[in-house]
Amino acid sequence: MTRIDLCCGLGGSGKTTTAATLGLAHAAAGRRAVVLTIDPARRLANALHLPLHGTDPTPVPLEGLGFPGTLSALMLDHTATFDAVVRRYSPDPETAERLLANRYYRAISTRLTGAHEYMAMEKLTELVEAGTWDVVVLDTPPTQHLLDFLDAPDRVQAVFDRSVFGALAEPGGGILGLATRRALALLERVAGATTMGDIREFMRLISGLSAHFRERGTQVRALLDRARYLLVLNAHAPERTDLDGFLDALSDRGRTLAGLIVTRVAAPAPAALGPAELAARIAGVPQAEAWVRALLAAREAAVAAAQLDGAAADRLGAQAGLPTWRIPDAPEAVRTLQGLATLVPNLLPLAAQSQ
């Protein structure tokens, strides 16, 4: 069974870099991993140093890293995914092409509230059903949009309810049908007959896909129920995270966190040299005493930063009562894929866990 690791958190927490590193850790553990980002920003492409395009995962070149597994990555193109769904699940090719050419569909597929989350559900299910991957690492948008994604299965089943589309496309008799026809007539006078014709045709054509979307909603709800939720936090700004609120929001949806990943944790300071040894090593250097004072002050600042970040990570873990993994603050490491791989040991124990 394909496992799902879902990385969530606030914007600026290092979530996308963490998702890429976790994908690499799964590859290091011998798995076939794919990282899917549903965040419309291009941070995943930047993190993996790849031009991610299209609707199919792009293999990440791992030559020279010595990882026994594989890694691919994909940035969600929700418009292209929506078009692919229409072509695949319409009753026939003619219906699909008429729907794709419909002006109202073109507007809906690019601007409908929640369309991005709907197509993220579609792509996640597609990757799981493909049977190609041992694990899907899902890089989500910032927290509020993540909650929208978790609520999307229920919204999809409501929006694509056959009775709603049927009533709008072909109003029946009775009081409800009369009210619907009057409302549509008013809209036609306001919007024009051509626009209403496009809307009516869209409603009629899309109703043929309603069963698929309702089924997808059920499938995705089952996938999200068994996903492993990992909250990514920035050690430098723990106060930005409403941890209790996020835990409550997940609990309200019947889901729980599996653990915390704390990023940008300052590395422990190197072993210290005493003032006398430092002075001896730089003897003869102009202003040697000032250099000794500066070096000692720099080390004290590094020690303080490591202690502060470590305390923040401990406090967050204790507050949530969950296991915590740490990723060191290494801005140079994320500049190359090889540098990103140096962070893998920090998440390898997490990747190696059975779900």
pLDDT digits (tens, 9 = 90+) for 135-145: 999 988 766 56
**In this structure, are residues 327 and 333 in contact, taking their beta carbons and an 8 Å threshold?**
no
- Residue 113 is predicted with a pLDDT of 58
Kindly report the CATH number assigned to the domain that includes residue 223: 3.40.50.300
Burial readout 91-128 (b: 16 or more C-beta within 10 A, e: otherwise): eeeebbebbbebebbbeebeeeeebbbbbbbbbbbbbb
Which band of pLDDT confidence, cut at 50, 70 and 90, is reported for residue 309?
confident
What radius of gyration, in Å, describes the C-alpha atoms of the chain? Answer: 26
Confirm whether 68 is domain-assigned.
yes
- pLDDT, mean of residues 210-216: 80
- Residue 191 is predicted with a pLDDT of 42
Confirm whether 207 is domain-assigned.
no
Residue 53 has pLDDT above 70, yes or no: no
Domain extent for 79: 3-101+113-161+213-265+318-352
Which has more pLDDT, 305 or 120? 120
Confirm whether 186 is domain-assigned.
no
Please state the φ and ψ torsions of residue 185, each to the nearest 5 degrees. -65, -40
336 Cβ neighbours under 8 A, 6+ residues apart: 49
118 Cβ neighbours under 8 A, 6+ residues apart: 78, 82, 152, 155, 156, 213
Confirm whether 184 is domain-assigned.
no
Write out pLDDT tens, residues 147-179: 777 777 777 666 665 444 555 545 554 444 444
3-state helix, strand, coil in the chain (%, to 5): 60, 15, 25
Side-chain-facing half-sphere of 171: CA atoms under 13 Å: 15
How high is the mean pLDDT of the chain?
78
Confirm whether 201 is domain-assigned.
no
Residue 156, amino acid: V
Number of domains in the chain: 1
Handedness of CA 311, 334, 73, 26 (dihedral sign): negative
Write out pLDDT tens, residues 189-209: 444 445 556 677 777 777 777
Residue 301 has pLDDT above 70, yes or no: yes
Confirm whether 273 is domain-assigned.
no
Confirm whether 230 is domain-assigned.
yes
With H, G, I as helix, E, B as strand and everything else as coil, classify residue 14.
coil
Per DSSP (E only), the strands in the chain are 3-8, 32-37, 58-59, 70-75, 135-139, 228-234, 257-265, 324-328
What pTM does this model have? Answer: 0.79
- Lowest-confidence segment of 113-127, 271-285, 321-335 by average pLDDT: 271-285
Confirm whether 10 is domain-assigned.
yes
